[in-house]
């Protein structure tokens, strides 16, 4: 909300400077967003006087002027037709920034003649739209005076944020009251005088609501004024409205806008001769239409309050009036409306219609019910002053809603809640200045003023006292520690995520953060859409149509990101994200997930002869690293293939702790998925359900088991097996290990071979087995025994034979 300094001073008698006023507003909770001071904005511009104006030697339309300025006599080339000897002008020196044309002036040569600075137009100074010539200042202006003193208005405009709890500060009087309470001056807001009606109002008003809906508009007041003369409002009123960004329309309309901003009291003025019968407030009929003042047609429904005459609806109560009964230049008799509309209903109507007006803004936050009748008087006085005429008696339908609220308030509350010790006298002074009435019983009884609907209980009184005292008086206190050294704070789930992130980053993946939602057509590649719909994962109001569903996996957004990077030439990237995915709209449907994608570029490096495509196993290693960091028992994992359907069926798998306990999937992303997402392949990825990792109980005993290292030399033996091509390596390794669980400490697969020397449909797998004796060196016989058991196990489990 905007207001000007001079306007404020009609409510606040103060010696305070603009800076002090702004600082105090901020200190009491009126957050100033900007201060526009014309004097500052126009500081570079001073008055000059044209001494000579000759024709430019080489240009018919240009003049060569000599101008008296604060910098002495300057030569300025000017194209304005009104540039002539003797006028006072707005001089912009070289180096000045001219806002209207967004140019910083330089010394220029115009058609061969040097020009030092500029004489500005109204538009160039951003004082108006006029660009017919240079602006002419009054003859009394002296060379060197600031332009702001002579042109336009030198009245600073303050813009501040009105918080929803403070409808009273939608009026300048409310701002003044806060400032006065904070000690910045005296509140001098005039109380509107009651004006005696000269006749009974010929315009009648009524409320036509049922008992259930009568709170939609409990009071509807108005007054008939006859014989007015509408026209442009006086300059001071136009200047004020313009300064705060409103367009002056006519005296009658400007008066309603003035009162809206001056007292947070919206009004409406009807051309009484255009009204037919009784003016009344009622709920609309569904489908009822009318043309509003903004020139648009609106359709009402049965929840909306309209103001209507015997013909039809005129406008939405508390939001906007109607075009048909509005005032014009020819209006002679008017009816001024000042009513009370229910905040909730007004807000709902406003939302449904999309109408944002100054009136709606105020009614939905709550206007002062006790200012309904004074509002009529104030408006009447202004109409009489600016438009003449003769007022009727006040018409009132319904009754002004009673506002009686008393808060029981122990004065110790300020100390308890804020730690500030404010003496009762100080508290009383502040509350009284804000319009509260204090009765000093124990606890105090504090009567709430009718313009403060936000005050409900003692906490609100604490806020009033403490914000006026000022939060800069808050003590600085330290929370006491309950332990000398704090215990660890992270939950296992939090710790798991953190460790997984750092493990993946350590493996060369970059952590991305992507939206929690994704494109429906991408989601469809990862989960059945009907299922997602049933799980409640469709947004009703997505930010964009391609971000309409909650993601079933982190992979789609990562794949899209991978491709965006590839489009910029970054083709060897690995990305991961540890973040939620959504199984359902219930709290337990929120799943912590770690996922990653890699594209492996054939590395061009002087030391690389060829590149092996090991993407599947890098993705598997990524998954294992993250799982291990997250505390999963990786030694117990089994691999199972294939993985989920969004992976390549032949190049993917799960990591599981037994059937049905799948913790992760990995492999090459399905080419069909990549194609649907326009992602260049191949891409390898993995996904881990972090929530499903069994909770590794924190060990209470921190001592580690004794080191079991043998001084005896370990023995390594190689075995080359031939088995069916579809035998899984993991099965063979497991079988080999079973040869002697105590003695065999490692089985490393070092070669896979298919081709010459191996029959069709078979493959050769070669493993190196490490035997670690504990008590005594192994004899050849013992090694032979173990070898036989290894061969037997391998054959039993996989049908593998020793290769000859």
Partner 1 sequence: MSDLGSLETDLLAKIEGAGDAGVLEEIRVAALGKKGVVSERMKTLGKMSPEERKEMGPALNGLKTRIGEAIEAKKSALDETALDARLATEKVDVTLPVRAEQKGKIHPVTQVTEEIVAIFSAMGFDVAEGPDIEDDFYNFTALNFPEDHPAREMHDTFFFEPKEDGSRRLLRTHTSPVQIRTMMEQKPPIRIIIPGRVYRCDSDQTHTPVFHQVEGLVIDRESHMGHLKGTLEAFAKTFFEVDSVTTRFRPHFFPFTEPSAEMDIGYERVGSSDGRGEIRIGQGADWMEILGCGMVHPNVLINCGLDPDEYQGFAWGMGVDRLAMLKYGIPDLRDFFAADARWLEHYGFDPLDQPNLAVGLSR
Structure tokens at 32: 């100033």
486 binds partner 1, rule: CB under 8 A:
yes
What binding mask, one character per residue, do residues 243-282 give for partner 1 by CB under 8 A, x or -?
----------------------------------------
Cis peptide before 635 (omega within 30 of 0): no
Q: DSSP letter for 292, please.
A: B
Q: Which residues pair with 161 in a beta bridge?
A: 31
Residue matched to tokens 């509140």? 187
Task: Kindly state the smallest distance separating residue 368's Cβ from partner 1, in Å.
Answer: 17
d(CA 301, CA 21): 45
Among 408, 506, 748, 792, binds partner 1 (CB under 8 A): 506
The answer to whether 273 and 333 are in contact (CB under 8 A) is yes
582 binds partner 1, rule: CB under 8 A:
yes
479 binds partner 1, rule: CB under 8 A:
yes
d(CA 803, CA 442): 100
d(CA 736, CA 786): 10
d(CA 149, CA 90): 11
Instruction: Decide whether 338 or 629 has the Cβ nearer to partner 1.
Output: 629
Among 408, 490, 712, 713, binds partner 1 (CB under 8 A): 490
Instruction: Decide whether 314 or 464 has the Cβ nearer to partner 1.
Output: 464
Among 11, 63, 240, 501, binds partner 1 (CB under 8 A): 501
Structure tokens at 561: 């990101």
510 binds partner 1, rule: CB under 8 A:
yes
Task: Kindly state the smallest distance separating residue 216's Cβ from partner 1, in Å.
Answer: 14
680 binds partner 1, rule: CB under 8 A:
no
Nearest CA-CA partner of 312 in 297, 326, 302, 322: 322
Instruction: Decide whether 512 or 673 has the Cβ nearer to partner 1.
Output: 512
d(CA 200, CA 203): 9
Among 587, 705, 755, 761, binds partner 1 (CB under 8 A): 587
Nearest 5°: phi and psi at 219?
-140, 135
What binding mask, one character per residue, do residues 599-638 give for partner 1 by CB under 8 A, x or -?
----x-xxxx------------------------------
Selected range binding partner 1 among 20-28, 93-101, 130-138, 242-250, rule: CB under 8 A = 20-28
What is the residue-wise DSSP string for 762-803?
Answer: EEEEEEEEEE--SSSPPPHHHHHHHHHHHHHHHHHHH--EE-
Among 12, 27, 184, 616, binds partner 1 (CB under 8 A): 27
Task: Kindly state the smallest distance separating residue 373's Cβ from partner 1, in Å.
Answer: 26
Cis peptide before 486 (omega within 30 of 0): no
Task: Kindly state the smallest distance separating residue 502's Cβ from partner 1, in Å.
Answer: 4
Interaction residues for partner 1, span 636-675 (CB under 8 A):
none
590 binds partner 1, rule: CB under 8 A:
yes
Interaction residues for partner 1, span 513-572 (CB under 8 A):
513-517, 533, 536-544, 547, 550, 557-558, 561, 564-565, 568, 570, 572
505 binds partner 1, rule: CB under 8 A:
yes
416 binds partner 1, rule: CB under 8 A:
yes
d(CA 593, CA 557): 13
Task: Kindly state the smallest distance separating residue 598's Cβ from partner 1, in Å.
Answer: 9
Selected range binding partner 1 among 71-79, 309-317, 320-328, 471-479, rule: CB under 8 A = 471-479
What is the residue-wise DSSP string for 81-101?
Answer: TT--TT-EEEEE-TT-EEGGG
Structure tokens at 168: 């009273």
Nearest CA-CA partner of 217 in 316, 305, 347, 309: 305
Among 476, 545, 610, 708, binds partner 1 (CB under 8 A): 476
Per rule CB under 8 A, count of chain residues that contact partner 1: 101
Angle, alpha carbons 768-773-775 (nearest 5°): 180
Angle, alpha carbons 70-75-80 (nearest 5°): 100
Task: Kindly state the smallest distance separating residue 415's Cβ from partner 1, in Å.
Answer: 8
Interaction residues for partner 1, span 147-176 (CB under 8 A):
163-166
Task: Kindly state the smallest distance separating residue 24's Cβ from partner 1, in Å.
Answer: 11
Q: What is the dihedral of CA 273, 279, 284, 290, to 10 degrees?
A: 10
Task: Kindly state the smallest distance separating residue 248's Cβ from partner 1, in Å.
Answer: 28
d(CA 79, CA 684): 69
Task: Kindly state the smallest distance separating residue 178's Cβ from partner 1, in Å.
Answer: 10
What is the residue-wise DSSP string for 585-608?
Answer: SSGGGEEEEEEEEE-------TT-
Instruction: Decide whether 476 or 703 has the Cβ nearer to partner 1.
Output: 476
- Beta-strand pair 205-208/279-283: parallel
Task: Kindly state the smallest distance separating residue 224's Cβ from partner 1, in Å.
Answer: 34
Structure tokens at 307: 């103001």
What binding mask, one character per residue, do residues 278-317 give for partner 1 by CB under 8 A, x or -?
----------------------------------------
Instruction: Decide whether 447 or 463 has the Cβ nearer to partner 1.
Output: 463
Instruction: Decide whether 230 or 466 has the Cβ nearer to partner 1.
Output: 466
d(CA 271, CA 235): 24
Task: Kindly state the smallest distance separating residue 5's Cβ from partner 1, in Å.
Answer: 21
Spell 571-582 as b/e; 16+ CB within 10 A means b.
eebbbbbbbbbb
What binding mask, one character per residue, do residues 437-466 give for partner 1 by CB under 8 A, x or -?
--------------------xxxx-xx--x
Interaction residues for partner 1, span 361-390 (CB under 8 A):
364-365
Q: DSSP letter for 509, please.
A: P
Instruction: Decide whether 277 or 457 has the Cβ nearer to partner 1.
Output: 457
481 binds partner 1, rule: CB under 8 A:
yes
Selected range binding partner 1 among 38-46, 312-320, 343-351, 784-792, rule: CB under 8 A = 343-351
Nearest CA-CA partner of 461 in 188, 474, 441, 469: 469
Strand order across the 334-340 sheet: 268-271, 334-340, 219-226, 390-398
Among 191, 482, 610, 612, binds partner 1 (CB under 8 A): 482
Instruction: Decide whether 509 or 736 has the Cβ nearer to partner 1.
Output: 509
d(CA 631, CA 625): 10
Return the number of other C-beta atoms located less than 10 Å from residue 457's C-beta. 12
Selected range binding partner 1 among 380-388, 483-491, 631-639, 658-666, rule: CB under 8 A = 483-491
Instruction: Decide whether 541 or 703 has the Cβ nearer to partner 1.
Output: 541
């Amino acid at each position: 909300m905007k207001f000007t300094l001079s306007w404020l001073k009609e409510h606040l008698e103060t010696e305070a400077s603009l800076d002090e006023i702004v600082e105090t507003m901020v200190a009491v909770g009126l957050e100033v967003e900007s201060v526009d001071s014309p004097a500052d904005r126009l500081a570079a511009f001073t008055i000059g006087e044209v001494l000579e104006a000759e024709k430019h030697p080489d240009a018919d339309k240009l003049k060569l002027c000599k101008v008296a300025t604060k910098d002495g006599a300057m030569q300025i080339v000017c194209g304005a037709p009104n540039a002539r000897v003797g006028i006072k002008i707005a001089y912009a020196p070289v180096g000045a920034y001219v806002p209207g044309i967004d140019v910083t002036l330089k010394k220029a040569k115009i058609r061969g003649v040097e020009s030092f600075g500029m004489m500005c137009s109204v538009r160039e100074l951003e004082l108006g739209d006029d660009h017919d010539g240079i602006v002419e200042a009054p003859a009394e202006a002296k060379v060197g005076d600031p332009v702001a003193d002579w042109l336009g208005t030198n009245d600073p405009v303050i813009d501040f944020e009105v918080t929803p709890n403070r409808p009273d500060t939608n009026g300048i009087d409310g701002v003044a009251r806060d400032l006065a309470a904070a000690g910045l001056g005296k509140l001098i807001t005039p109380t509107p005088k009651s004006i005696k009606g000269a006749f009974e109002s010929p315009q009648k008003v009524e409320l036509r609501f049922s008992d259930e809906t009568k709170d939609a508009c409990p009071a509807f007041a108005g007054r008939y004024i006859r014989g007015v003369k509408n026209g442009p409002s006086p300059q001071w009123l136009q200047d004020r409205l313009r300064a705060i960004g409103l367009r002056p329309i006519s005296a009658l309309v400007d008066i309603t806008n003035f009162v809206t901003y001056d007292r947070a009291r919206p009004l409406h003025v009807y051309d009484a001769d255009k009204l037919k019968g009784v003016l009344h407030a009622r709920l609309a009929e569904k489908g009822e239409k009318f043309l509003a003042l903004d020139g648009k047609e609106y359709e009402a429904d049965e929840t909306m309050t309209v103001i209507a005459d015997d013909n039809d609806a005129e406008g939405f109560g508390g939001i906007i009036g109607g075009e048909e009964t509005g005032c014009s230049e020819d209006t002679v008799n008017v009816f001024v409306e000042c009513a009370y509309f229910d905040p909730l209903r007004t807000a709902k109507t406003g939302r449904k219609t999309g109408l944002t007006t100054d009136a709606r803004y105020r009614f939905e936050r709550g206007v002062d019910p006790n200012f309904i009748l004074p509002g009529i008087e104030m408006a009447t006085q202004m109409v009489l002053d600016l438009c003449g005429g003769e007022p009727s008696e006040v018409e009132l339908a319904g009754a002004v809603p009673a506002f009686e609220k008393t808060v029981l308030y122990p004065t110790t509350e300020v100390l308890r809640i804020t730690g500030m010790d404010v003496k009762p006298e100080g508290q009383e002074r502040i509350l009284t200045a804000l319009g509260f009435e204090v009765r000093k019983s124990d606890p105090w009884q504090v009567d709430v003023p009718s313009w403060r609907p936000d005050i409900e209980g003692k906490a609100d009184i604490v806020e009033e006292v403490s914000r006026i005292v000022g939060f800069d008086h808050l003590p600085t206190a330290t929370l006491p520690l309950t332990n000398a050294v704090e215990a660890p704070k992270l939950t296992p789930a939090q710790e798991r995520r953190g460790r997984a992130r750092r493990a993946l980053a350590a493996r060369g993946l970059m952590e991305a953060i992507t939206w929690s939602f994704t494109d429906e057509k991408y989601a469809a590649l990862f989960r059945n859409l009907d299922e997602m719909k049933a799980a409640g994962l469709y947004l009703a109001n997505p930010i964009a149509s391609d971000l309409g569903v909650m993601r079933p996996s982190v992979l789609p957004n990562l794949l899209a990101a991978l491709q965006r990077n590839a489009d910029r030439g970054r083709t060897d990237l690995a990305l991961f994200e540890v973040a939620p995915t959504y199984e359902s709209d219930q709290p337990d449907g929120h799943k912590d997930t770690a996922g990653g994608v890699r594209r492996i570029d054939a590395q061009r490096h002087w030391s690389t002869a060829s590149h092996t495509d090991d993407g599947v196993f890098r993705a598997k290693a990524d998954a294992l690293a993250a799982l291990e960091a997250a505390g999963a028992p990786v030694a117990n994992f089994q691999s199972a293939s294939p993985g989920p359907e969004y992976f390549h069926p032949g190049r993917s798998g799960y990591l599981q702790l037994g059937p049905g306990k799948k913790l992760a999937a990995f492999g090459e992303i399905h080419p069909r998925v990549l194609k649907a997402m326009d992602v260049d392949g191949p891409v390898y990825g993995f996904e881990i359900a972090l929530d499903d990792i069994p909770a590794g109980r924190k060990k209470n005993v921190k001592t580690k088991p004794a080191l079991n290292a043998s001084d005896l030399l370990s023995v390594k033996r190689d075995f080359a097996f031939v088995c069916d091509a579809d035998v899984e390596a993991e099965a063979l390794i497991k079988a080999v290990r079973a040869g002697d669980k105590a003695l065999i400490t490692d089985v490393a697969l070092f070669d896979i071979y298919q081709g010459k020397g191996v029959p069709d449909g078979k493959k050769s797998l070669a493993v190196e087995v490490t035997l670690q004796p504990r008590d005594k060196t192994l004899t050849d016989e013992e090694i032979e025994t173990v070898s036989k058991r290894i061969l037997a196990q391998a054959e039993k489990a996989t049908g593998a034979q020793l290769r000859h």
